[in-house]
Structure formats: structure tokens, C-alpha cells
Structure 1
Amino acid sequence: MVNCNGQKMKTLIKNALLPMLTCVSVSSVASNANSGVGINLTGLNYWSSQWTTIDVMKHASNGSGQLWATSNARTYEYNTGDQLLLDLDEQGWPRSLPPMTDDSPFHYVTTIIFHDNPHYAQGEYVVLYEGEGELRYSGPELVSSSPGRDVVRMTEDSYFHLQIHSTDPNNLGDHIRNIRIIAPGGSCSTALTDYALSAQDCDSPNMFIPFEQSYMQRVFHPLFLQDMSQFRTLRFMQLLNTIDNPIENWSARPKYDYASWGLKGGTPLEVAILMSNKLKAEGWYNLPARVNDDYIQQFARLLKLTTDNQSDVYIELGNEIWNNAWPYINDALYMQEQGKKMWPNTHHHDIEYRMNYYGMRSAQMCDIVKQEFAEQASRVKCVMGGQAGVPWINQQALSCPIYASGTNQQCAQNMDILAVGSYFAGYYANERYLDILTSWAADPVTGVDNLFTELYSDLLRSLTYNADEPAWWQAPANGALAQAKENISGNLQLAQQYNLMLAAYEGGQHLTYAGDSREGREAINESLFLAANRDARMATAFIDHLSDWRDSGAGLFMVFESTGRWDRWGAFPLKEYQAQTREDAVKFDAVLSFVEQNPCWWANCERTISPVDEPIVLPPSDPVTPPPIVEPEPEPEPTPVPTIEVISSPLFDTNGVMLNWQLNDSLNSVVFKIYRNEQLIFHTTDEQFKDHWQPLNVDLKYRVDAVEKMSNSVVASQTIVTKAGDSEPPRAPELLTIESNGQYGVKLHWQMSEDNNGIKLYKIIRNGQMYTHTSDNYFEDPWPPQGTVSYALYAQDFAGNLSDLSQSVSIQISYK
């Protein structure tokens, strides 16, 4: 197990020896309630070294932002590019495949689970699926196979490609679908961050819950949650794939039940919300730059309905709209062109159109979200993103003079935060220093020393200063950290001018050539930039920078970023791979040390939240033998047989079931095991359980067993049958009446139907055929057909359930 104090034993995981702790108790992980630091999360993809989800199918893709590669068995071509020919269901699973003939453009489909990724968890993965067909695995070894369940083994230095070679072979509509690939391991308790490789790592083997049984409840890997548990706020910009995301409409957003969450559209919002809820963290949500007002409104409703109402939420439109680098420039040009279209008869610089339009849309987004939150509007923290080194750009978005000239309202009026990227040492990658850094890289030990010297002094300035060049072209006078501190001060003054908090949407070191490997840059990156990020002096630099930020009076700092591999694009992640220990990840350790030693420092920043973790359920100690009884005792009354009463209620928002139960016994050493359709899915010491995202209108059989832990015997049990979510249809509409409208049409009126979760619409049936629908309880048909015309109604609720058909009414229509 992890997260407990006691004797260590070591269990080998890829590239690391993870401490596995055997102990008698577990305390809750450190709370993030009063942390002053948040973190940007890396995205879901097949090369990620971060173990975000237990179901690794959720980060699958074909390598081009789509789910499936269309593969040809004759030519061995991995991807023929025939995605438009795929027959996919709503969740992205192929319903059919072309015949195995030479003239078929492709024969099977492939998706990548792991590739170019040495840091996956080694061990046995359980592949679960529904339907009929043939799955094949390229990379892992097939250990066992049975209908609906395969087991494959991943060993060192491998890869994992999943292939569907046939589906629905009998043409019964039973295609292969709902594939889940469950990572090795499990837990010994219900604590979110509890992790064990096997039952042998638990204090008692029968406490072990394999991920195969708990993945739907847990969703996220315990080791990932452990790493994130001390961060106050989670920024989902990369997870949601915000940059250059083309989504405009709410209906086009990624869905929670889709086969993968690692595609071009980004991870579903529901996943980000669930993650922040589990960690009791504040969520920072970056919406795509092109979304319309309806998207923003629907997003706000979802957010208010599903987030913890004790936590603030941060809302930001796009990311770095000021940035002209690829791929940021695509969103930037969109904003720029929209600004020119909105103010066609004005004459301004491109950046002014861009930032004014961005400021306007940010303010409009903020208004929509706060209106939807209504009485909870104070929870919403609206963010205006800016550029740390050029406060004038930020001024354009906040004051938005082009927009304000027609509205007399600056865009900062309803905002809460000005956010900038607080980085240091980015100027090292300037081309004018290339020769100097090349010489440093030739002697890496001295070169890294020089690099750290420049953080605190003017080494580069002394080597390059030219009085004939402008001041902004020179290296900073006192080094990289002093320059970052100056940027903080300038932006803080601007934020205070508008009564806003200054936050860092990202921050940390910025040693990168951004993928450019020309002219010796690759050697500099390897010998200096990456080496410096592994050096203990980088931990000191991080703490110094965070301290400068805290001491300035600025607010929340969002470090960039969680866990990911380091390469020619830089070493931004705090950890290089999931199993890397805190001691080996100097930046990660530095940030957590700062969090632990520096509670949040701005006004009213304290939060009251319960701890993230729950204690492990432990067996009681051996009973003490009582002394011999001298006097005979009266014969005790018969002990009543323990019974358990289970009741269920629907969870409308998550298509789930809430189970509550009560045990009529005061047993202190009982754990409750929950079964769905005879399969163990969870155990807990609580007396309630939520089972989310179940199919609607299907009988679900739940059994709750009360198990005495010492003997592992069932002392009470009850089984109930229920349905998930809104599986109850509305009552049929009643009192339907019809009358002429005085011209050629008719008026219908009826009594509103009753439903357990509200009526969405009424479907109007005319002459036995579906005609139209309305959300009102009346309808006027201006031009019905001549002759006898009949009408009847169905009521439909928000889950899509239809009522019985109402009674029919009819009328004679004549246009003569």
C-alpha cells in the first residue's frame, strides 16, 4: 500500500522502485484547503508518462487526433486514411468492417494504447468488452481469453496497439463495443490514494479490491491523485485541449461515454469536474476560443449542477491569445479577424483588434456564467489572460477601448483575475546567446554552473552588453529571477488598478528551444537545459521564484505542469514519469515543500474542506480474555439476528443509483460489500454508495452484504432491484381539448404531465404521424389538412423517456 507510515518494502515498477508500505493505519493525505499553489495538468495521450486514468483505453488514439487507424491486411499499411468510410456508433465503436478482399480499402482498425512510452505500468491488463468479434493485441502478450474478457501482459520496452479484426460476425447488431483496458493493481481500502499491486501488499488479502472491480468508481489512478492532492487548483487547459480547438457548439463537445478521452476535441468536461470533486480542488476551466453563448450557458449549468458548491471555479476563454507562436496563433488570428469584422470602420493595429475582441468575449463569458450561478455567483472567478512581459497587451484586454467606446463599459468591470505566465529564464533561448550556450554545452558541468549563475546575476549581460542597442534587447541586469520579479511587479500594479487579483495561470522555469534542434540547440537542450532541471539548484530557484511571487502580494500561482516526459520541447513537467519518487523529482519536491511551509497568503484564501482520503478499514485487535466468572450470571436474552435495510433513489444528473442502508446492530467491525448483478463493485464502512453512469431503463440488482471483518462472515444481506437515473416515464398528458382558432386552424390544450424529473417536451401526433413538438401545454396548428383530423400527445422527459399516448381528439376541417 502507499500513503501510510510504517515499514517499507520495495516493489518494482517500470524505471522505479516504488515504496510499498505495510502498516497498521493510514492518515489522510495532506489537505489542499489552504494551499496557495495550483497546477496545470498534462493531457491524455498514448505517450504520456502520467497514469491519469485506470482505464487506459481512455487515452487511446491513432496518432493523428482520431480514434481509429484504418489498417490494410494486404499491404500492411497502418493507416490508409479512410476514416470517412468507418461505420461508427455514437460512442465511436465500429459497427462493421469491410470484407477481407483485395479491393477493400482497409480490413481492420487499430488504435494506440502505448507507444514511444517507456513509463507505462508493467504487469497484467484486463481487457473487458461487450459484443462479438475478434480483438488482437500488437505488443503485449495474450495471457488468457474468454468471452468479454482478455488478459494481456506488458513487459519492459514494449508497446500496445489494439486491433479489431472482426465485429458483429453474425449481423445481429452485437458489434464489439465498450472496450475497457484496466491497469494492473488495485487497492486495500476505499481511500482515493491507496494503491497496491496485489492482495499480498494488503494487511489482509481479503481487503484487496482489484481495479477491475473499482475502476468505474475510482476512474483516476491512486498514484496520480496522490501527486495532485496538495494542489489547491487544477488547470485543465491541456486536458481539455483548449488551444486551436475548433468546437463552437455545445452539441459538438466530447462526451463522457465516448470510447476515448484523448482525441483532438479534448477530454470531456465531466472528467475534469469529477477530478476536481474527488480531490476537493478548485477547477480552472479553459473554454475553446470559438465557443458560442449557448455553449457557455450550458457549460455554466453543468458546472453549477455538478461541482462542489464549497469550491470556487475559475473560468478562462482560450489560452494565450496574445501569443503569435504555433499553435496559439490559430486562436489569436480567429480573435483578430472577429475584431476586424466587429469594428470594420476603425483603424487599429492587429494586436489591438485581437485583444479588444478577446476582452469583450471574456467579459461576455463571465456575465453568462455568473448569471447562471445566480446566488452562487461569488464562486465564479473570471480570468483575463495576459502576457507577463508586456503589460500594455493586458491593458488592451482589460480596458478594451475599441469595444468600450460604443458601450461605455470596460471589459474588466465584471472580471476577478488578471493572470499571466510567471516564468523565468526564457530569454536563454534567444538566438543572440546561441554561441555562448554552445560553448557552455562543450563543458556541461561548468556550463550548468554558468546557467545557474545567470539566474541570480548578469553573466550574459556582461558578455553581450552593447550600449548602442535598446534596453529591451539586452540581457536583464540582475539575471533571470530578478527579471521575473520585475514582471510580477508591473502586472500587479495593473491588476490593482482594476481591483483584480494577479494570478499566475502558468509558471516555473522556461528553458526550451520549443522543439528547434538546429545549429547545436539539441546539444544545449540535453547538456544544459534538461540537466539543469534535474539539478538540486533548480529546486532552490523554484522556491525563490515562488517566494518572490508570494512576497509581492500577488495571489494564486499555477505551476506548469504535472507529469510528462522531457524532450526537445522542454522540461516543464515537475515529474518525468508517474513512478518517479518525490526525492528524485527535485522540482516536484520543491513545490510541495513550498506548499507545506507556506499556507495561502492572500485575503480570505482559507477554505474549510474535509480531507481527500478516508482511513483504511482495519481488522480489530485480538479480544482480551475476561477473568473467570465467579457468580453465575442470568441467562442473556437471545441476541436478535442482524438485518440490513437497503433503499435506493435515482441520481438524475449522472444516470446513477444512490444506495442507502441501515444495519440494526451495533457491530463495530463491519465492512459493507456492494454487488451489482452479482459482481462485487465496492466496499466501504459508510452506509451509502453512489453508482454513476449506468444504463437507463434496465433492471439492476444490487446486494449489500454486511461482513464481520474478523471472521469474514456475512452477518446480514439484502438484495433490491431498481433502475438507474431517470428510468421512469412521465404520465400521459390528460384533458386534451381541441377547438377552432376562428380561421382555418385549430387550438390544442392539455393538462401538464407529471414526471419525477420534469417534462422536456410534448410530441404532437397528427393523423397517427409524428407532426411536431412543443415545450408548452398548448399548441396552434394553423393549416391542418382538410377532412377529419385527429391529434394525440406523448410527453417526453429530459432522459428521453416517453409517456403512454394520450387520448385522441379530432375535428372536421374544411377550407370552403
Structure 2
Amino acid sequence: MQDNTCQCDRGWMWSKTHYRCVWDCNCPNDVQCIGPGVCGCAHTCKYGTCWNGQCECWEGYKGITCDTFDKNMMMNRNISVGMNLGGLSYWSPELKFVDVAKQSQEWITEHHTTHQWDTHEHDTITWRDDGYPASLPNDMLVGKLVLRANAGIHGPQGNFTLLYDGDGEIAFSLVRPVIHYNGKGRMVVEFHENSGGIFIKIMRTNSANPIHNIRLILPGFEDRHELFPFYPPFLNSIKRYSELRFMDMLHTNGHTPEPTTWKTRRMPEFHTQTGSAGCAIEYLIHLTNIVGSDPWFNQPHAADDDFIKQFANMSKTTLRPDVKVYIEYSNEVWNGIFRQTKYNQEQGMSLGLDTANWKAGFKYYNKRSTEIANIWKSVYGSDSEKLIPVWAWQTGYHDYTRQAMVDLGTRASNFKGLAVTGYFGCDHVTSQSKHDITQLSMADIRDLCKKDLPKSIDDFHFYMNMSKANNLKLLMYEGGPGLESSRNNNATDHAIAFNRHDLAGDATLDVLEAWYDVVVSDQYNKHPGGLFNYFSSASSYSKYGSWGLMEYTGQDPHTSPKYIALHRYINRHFNNHNMGQHCSFVSQNNILYGCYKHRNQQFYCGQSTDHGTSWKNYPTISANTSALILDGFDVMSGVIFVRNVDEIAANTFYKLNTTKMQTQWESQSVSDYYRQVSPTTVNRKMTNGVYRGVDISNFIC
């Protein structure tokens, strides 16, 4: 301004004392700001996060301070189905974070005067501990990709916010950005659909105050990204699974460095969470706490004892108290395509465990996995009943696993579970030596899947018997369709087409039902036995396999036959059809907005001016409703935002302008919905189980 003061953004005000813009909040009872226009809470949120004066509870918790656990609220209660989450990469179509820079690649080097892609000159740069350059030569820049391929095609579009600390210059390429605002430490940049991705470039950096802490925030999430780091559609997609296996997020296969120490682990403030060091453990624990699924932590193959101890201690002290913890040493140590297999053989041979590489490998696996299980137990002490140490080996060759189990011997008592796979390849339909998949109809492939089913059933019986003989419970660490074809493009396209076909859902359901009949129904095999761990949550389909239950975050679940099959299996066997809160309310001035399940068993949304005694109902949203959730009310526009959740946990999104008395709900895309519902102008629904005097006598809450 002309008087040298600043006109501050919304949520900020000019401070004559500090001579700068500071957070501006109108908070009651001396409650302090916790962000621009965001009030803190009068009480500490025990199992939740404070946002604008009220707690937002983790799944299963309720009350003003989120201190009361109610398992009946959980979407995953009693459900013996887990999920392998996809890994983190700049091309992954599974968007886990609202700050997509966390899923960016490692830096590449380039020169200002030439256009060569990646000059591989990392050694000429001094790097900070957080992975940012401490300085740059005058003619050099560094850059990294994010939102490439399906991540860019199916990801949110619009105005992203780029935030950074330090001094320097940031630019973009591979896209045509429209820069709407460019101030110190903050840019607002418009991006649109692009399979090539966004290339973020540090053009120059001030060595006295280098650029660091770059965050690229999805549209709408600037206000909440620090306290709520995970993308809501991703959270919605995993809430129904009782366990989450973090094998790929931890980059278990080929994890580095060797040895892995606590000092060398990936930290939350590192410039990316991708790469062979895996994701920061803090994020995995935070995700577990929000969703309330049991975590499955794969321990790095070259981790030293202190790393294992520190990992266990962090879990014990920061995980929510109601979850169990699965512990597995590495992943598929028998599988020769992974570095951990060679490492175990090297260690086994150096210790003289056997003269044959392959035997030395499984003997070292038995030794190290037992040591890791006991380290976790020593840390957990009297809480060790929460731990589920898992012993896992090869599934297809029974005698190989039998020999490994014989070597384990009495050490089997250190474990609770024996884990196998449940993949099916439909009589190796993508193997050129047996079939030409391009000449087969979808029904032909389905018939080959049926032909394979007896082999799966035989495996389940064999390992069920092995589990009983060793006083272990049988569970699955990975399972699902395993049709991958790199032979040629036509074969790949045909395999992908089958994975998208309704018959792939039928084949998936066959294996699920066989697992249930042989394993889950066995009275011996109570929890943790019977867990079917699907692989995986979301991935792009390619010649390397169509592993994803979904192809990208935000996909309509009704377009994935494999997803439908899995959730029909859940509905059929696990007696939990709870898809969310039955009552959700927002109070604004003298008007109450709410969605609720009436005692007549119907769901409605409406408004009340007498604290809920009488309601004016809005139009019905859907006949297929298992939960109807009011997420928020925009005080600026008078719009309410509502999610309809159906019987397979699929969300559809709507808004309605209450000031215009609309007679029709407006359908919203998943990205548009959350872009609009996340800013500070939106009052969030009341905390779980808190109704603030609302009359709920006619509702089932």
C-alpha cells in the first residue's frame, strides 16, 4: 500500500506491532489461531486433529475431544480383508498426499544454456540433509517430475499452490502453466490435464538461504494440507479394509541403504517420499491412526538392530491403542528378482549356515525374522499381544516351503501367522508356451481361471495343515489376479481387457470364496488367521500386470469388476454394512443443516430452525444409500456438501445451494467436491457423537 503497509490475504491481518501480516482469527474464549483464519480448540484432541474450533476424530473415535472409542462406527469392523497399498512414485496413479511434491522423483541436473535431459552431475552439487541443493553452479538447475502419466491425466486440475521456504527462483516445464500469483514463498499456478507431468525446476537458489520445503498443493487444500496431509478420496478408498500392508510404500523390495540405520532412514521433511529408502514411518503411522486399520510393517532386509528397535518404539508410542501390528522381515526373500534374496544368501553363506546358497538364504531368513520378532516383543513388553509376527515363504512349491519350515523348527513359536499368496493366472493364459491369449475370448479366459481354481484350493489346504502343525494361523500377504503379459502389445491389451471385464470379477470372487471355505471358515483359524490381503489398491495397467483393484484414485468403483467382487465378498461374509455416520450436522447462525437416518430407516438431508425439532427436508439424493454424510457448509455461498455412500462403499458427491432453495442436487466430480469442501470458508460437520443440543430423538444416530 502507499503507506508501506500490506493489504493482507484472506485469513491474515496487518500487525502494527510486528509490521507484517499475521494470522487473523475471531476465536472465542481466548483460543489462539492455528492457521490463517483457523481457530484452535479449547480442548486437546486426543485421537483426532483440531480444525477451526472442533476436533475431527480418527475413524472409530467420538466425543468433543475424540477420547471415546466405538468399534461399531468402524467401516472395517469384523472384516478379514486387508490391502497392499501401492508404492510412491511420480507416475503413480494413486494420489496419497494433497502435497504431490511428496510423490515427486529425485532431482535431475540440467544446464540453462543447453536442453539435455538429466546431465547426471549430482556430485558437483552440495546437498542439504533434506535433499535440497545448498547451492547451485551459475549455469546449472535441478528439477523433478510429478503427476506424470495417469497421475496427470486423472489427477485434479486447476489452481495449484506452490509453497517454499528460502530465496531463489522456481519455474515449470512440460506444461503450459498460467501463473495467477507469484509472491515470496508462494505461487498460485493453473495446470490442466497432461500425461507428460509437471517438471518443477529450481532455476537458482540463494546459498545463504537456499530454497527448501517445496510443497505443490492440490487445488483447494492449501488451508488444510499441513494438518491433514492425505488426499480424502484416497482415504475413502481404503477405510473398509481391516489391515494395510505398507510393503511398497516402504520400498521393501531392494530397500537402501545397506546397512539401514535409524540415522539413514527417510525423514518427513525430505524433499520427496519416493525412492528406495521408502516413505517416512511417521506418515505410515499417521495414516494408520486416521483410518484405524491394522498396519503391516515390512522391516528392511539390511536394517540393524537399533533401526528395528527404534521403529518398534515409535510404533508403540504413537500408534492409536486399538490396532494390532503385523511384522514381517522384508518381502519374498525366496524371490530371486529382489535384492533381499541375494542379501539373505550372502549373509547365510558368510555365517556358514549351509553350503548351498538357496538353503543358506532361507536359514538366514529364519534367523533374522526370529530376531526381529523378538526385538519388537521386547520393546512392546506387556503390550506384546498387539503384535502379529508373520513368517512368509514361497507358495507354489510346497516342498521348498516345507524345508524352510523344518529349519524354523521350534522357533515357529515366535510367530503368530504363516502367510502365503493367493494369486491366480488362469492356467498361465499369458504364457506363450501354453496359450495365445489374443485368440481367446473373455469367456475362454474365464474358463481357464476355473481350471486353475483346484490348484488354489489345494494350496490353501496344504498350508492350512502346515499352519496347524506349527501352531500358527494361516493368512495371505498378497493375492488376486496375476495376468501379466510382456510378449507383445496385442497380448498385453487382451490381458488388460480381461482385467476390466465382468468375468474378471467372477474369477476373483471364485478365489475369495475358496479362501473363505478352506481358511476363514476353519474354526482353528480365528484372528489373525483368514486375512485375505489383496494386491494392490491402485496401479496403472500395463505389460507388467494389471494388479490394481482400481486404476487410479478417484475412479468410480462401479467401473472396476474386481473392486465390486471384493466388496460383495465382504458384504456376504463379514456382517458389517456400516458405511459412515448416520447423523451429521452443521450449525450456522440460527439454522441447522443435517443429514440423518430417520427411524423409518430412510436417509434424508434438510434444515431446521428449531434445534432439530422439525425439519424441512431437501430432495432425495439416491435410492441406493448406506450412509449420507454432510461434510460441510460454505458460509460464503450457502452451499452444503454431501456424500452418498452405497453398499460397496462407493462415494458419489453432491452440493446444494441453500440460499437459492434449489430443488435439485448438483452432482460433483470427486476432485471438484474436495476442492470446494476443504477451504477455511467451509464449516465442517460436528465432531463424531457430538450434537450440541440437536434433537435427534427421531433419528438413528
TM-score by length of 2: 0.70
Deviations 1:362-401 (A, max 9, x none): 1110011011000110100001111111233333333326
More relative contact order in 1 or in 2 (CA 8 Å, sep 6+)?
2
1:336 corresponds to which residue? Answer: 345
1:150 corresponds to which residue? Answer: 187
Distance in 2, Cα, partners of 1:614 & 1:99: 60
Per the TM alignment, residue 335 of structure 1 is displaced from its structure 2 partner at its CA by 0.5
Per the TM alignment, residue 355 of structure 1 is displaced from its structure 2 partner at its CA by 0.8
Per the TM alignment, residue 82 of structure 1 is displaced from its structure 2 partner at its CA by 1.2
Per the TM alignment, residue 115 of structure 1 is displaced from its structure 2 partner at its CA by 2.2
Q: 2:373 matched to 1:366?
A: yes
CA contact (8 A) 1:322 1:355 kept: yes
Q: 2:534 matched to 1:498?
A: no
1:722 corresponds to which residue? Answer: none
1:167 corresponds to which residue? Answer: 205
2:420 corresponds to which residue? Answer: 420
2:496 corresponds to which residue? Answer: 530
Per the TM alignment, residue 550 of structure 1 is displaced from its structure 2 partner at its CA by 1.2
Q: Does the residue aligned with 1:567 lie in a helix, a strand or coil?
A: coil
Distance in 1, Cα, partners of 2:403 & 2:580: 42
Q: Does the residue aligned with 2:385 lie in a helix, a strand or coil?
A: helix
Distance in 1, Cα, partners of 2:238 & 2:558: 16
CA contact (8 A) 2:420 2:475 kept: yes
The one-letter code sitting in structure 2 at the alignment partner of 1:69 is I
2:544 corresponds to which residue? Answer: 569
Deviations 1:81-112 (A, max 9, x none): 11122222221122211013xxxxxx100111
Where in structure 1 are there 5+ consecutive unaligned residues? 1-26, 62-66, 101-106, 186-210, 402-408, 457-478, 601-605, 626-678, 689-706, 710-816
In structure 2, which of residues 461, 482, 502 is the aligned counterpart of residue 510 of structure 1? Answer: 482
1:487 corresponds to which residue? Answer: 459
2:133 corresponds to which residue? Answer: 94
1:475 corresponds to which residue? Answer: none
Q: Does the residue aligned with 1:250 lie in a helix, a strand or coil?
A: coil
Distance in 2, Cα, partners of 1:419 & 1:616: 44
2:24 corresponds to which residue? Answer: none
Q: 2:146 matched to 1:113?
A: yes
Q: Does the residue aligned with 2:344 lie in a helix, a strand or coil?
A: helix
Q: 2:139 matched to 1:124?
A: no
CA contact (8 A) 1:399 1:412 kept: no
Distance in 1, Cα, partners of 2:558 & 2:587: 30
Distance in 2, Cα, partners of 1:127 & 1:579: 23
Q: 2:299 matched to 1:296?
A: no
In structure 2, which of residues 218, 231, 235 is the aligned counterpart of residue 225 of structure 1? Answer: 235
Cα pair distance change 1:352/1:684, threshold 3 Å: same
Distance in 2, Cα, partners of 1:161 & 1:548: 47
The one-letter code sitting in structure 2 at the alignment partner of 1:160 is I
Distance in 1, Cα, partners of 2:455 & 2:533: 19
1:700-715 correspondence to structure 2 within 5 Å: none
Cα pair distance change 1:220/1:512, threshold 3 Å: same
Q: Does the residue aligned with 1:241 lie in a helix, a strand or coil?
A: coil
Q: Does the residue aligned with 2:544 lie in a helix, a strand or coil?
A: coil
Q: 2:614 matched to 1:617?
A: no
Deviations 1:327-353 (A, max 9, x none): x2x211111121112126x54x32221
1:639-788 correspondence to structure 2 within 5 Å: none
Per the TM alignment, residue 251 of structure 1 is displaced from its structure 2 partner at its CA by 1.1
Cα pair distance change 1:618/1:577, threshold 3 Å: farther
Deviations 1:121-174 (A, max 9, x none): 211111111221110011141322122111112212352000001111xx5x22
Distance in 2, Cα, partners of 1:622 & 1:368: 57
Q: 2:482 matched to 1:449?
A: no
User: Cα RMSD over matched residues?
Assistant: 2.8
CA contact (8 A) 2:262 2:307 kept: yes
CA contact (8 A) 1:214 1:681 kept: no
Distance in 2, Cα, partners of 1:687 & 1:480: 49
CA contact (8 A) 1:213 1:681 kept: no
2:357 corresponds to which residue? Answer: 350
CA contact (8 A) 2:90 2:148 kept: yes
CA contact (8 A) 1:356 1:396 kept: no
The one-letter code sitting in structure 1 at the alignment partner of 2:500 is R
1:633 corresponds to which residue? Answer: none
Cα pair distance change 1:614/1:51, threshold 3 Å: farther
CA contact (8 A) 1:140 1:160 kept: no
2:625 corresponds to which residue? Answer: none
2:64 corresponds to which residue? Answer: none
Cα pair distance change 1:681/1:495, threshold 3 Å: farther
Q: Does the residue aligned with 1:383 lie in a helix, a strand or coil?
A: strand
Q: 2:403 matched to 1:396?
A: yes
Deviations 1:470-494 (A, max 9, x none): xxxxxxxxx1112111111111111
1:587 corresponds to which residue? Answer: 562
1:788 corresponds to which residue? Answer: none
Cα pair distance change 1:441/1:131, threshold 3 Å: same
CA contact (8 A) 1:214 1:682 kept: no
In structure 1, which of residues 307, 315, 318 is the aligned counterpart of residue 319 of structure 2? Answer: 307
Distance in 1, Cα, partners of 2:448 & 2:540: 26
CA contact (8 A) 1:178 1:259 kept: yes
The one-letter code sitting in structure 1 at the alignment partner of 2:561 is V
2:119 corresponds to which residue? Answer: 80
Cα pair distance change 1:307/1:611, threshold 3 Å: farther
Distance in 1, Cα, partners of 2:274 & 2:681: 26
1:553 corresponds to which residue? Answer: 519
Cα pair distance change 1:584/1:610, threshold 3 Å: closer
1:265 corresponds to which residue? Answer: 277
Q: Does the residue aligned with 2:223 lie in a helix, a strand or coil?
A: helix
CA contact (8 A) 1:512 1:525 kept: yes
Distance in 1, Cα, partners of 2:545 & 2:127: 38
Per the TM alignment, residue 436 of structure 1 is displaced from its structure 2 partner at its CA by 5.5
CA contact (8 A) 2:295 2:325 kept: yes
Q: Does the residue aligned with 1:296 lie in a helix, a strand or coil?
A: helix
1:34 corresponds to which residue? Answer: 78
Q: 2:98 matched to 1:59?
A: no
Q: 2:388 matched to 1:381?
A: yes
Larger Rg: 1
CA contact (8 A) 2:443 2:503 kept: no
Cα pair distance change 1:50/1:340, threshold 3 Å: same
Distance in 2, Cα, partners of 1:305 & 1:614: 33
Stretch moving more, 533-542 or 502-511: 533-542
Give aligned pairs, total.
520
1:586-605 correspondence to structure 2 within 5 Å: 586-599=561-574
Deviations 1:763-788 (A, max 9, x none): xxxxxxxxxxxxxxxxxxxxxxxxxx
CA contact (8 A) 2:254 2:276 kept: no
Distance in 2, Cα, partners of 1:499 & 1:310: 25
CA contact (8 A) 1:279 1:612 kept: no
CA contact (8 A) 1:119 1:577 kept: yes
Distance in 1, Cα, partners of 2:383 & 2:192: 50
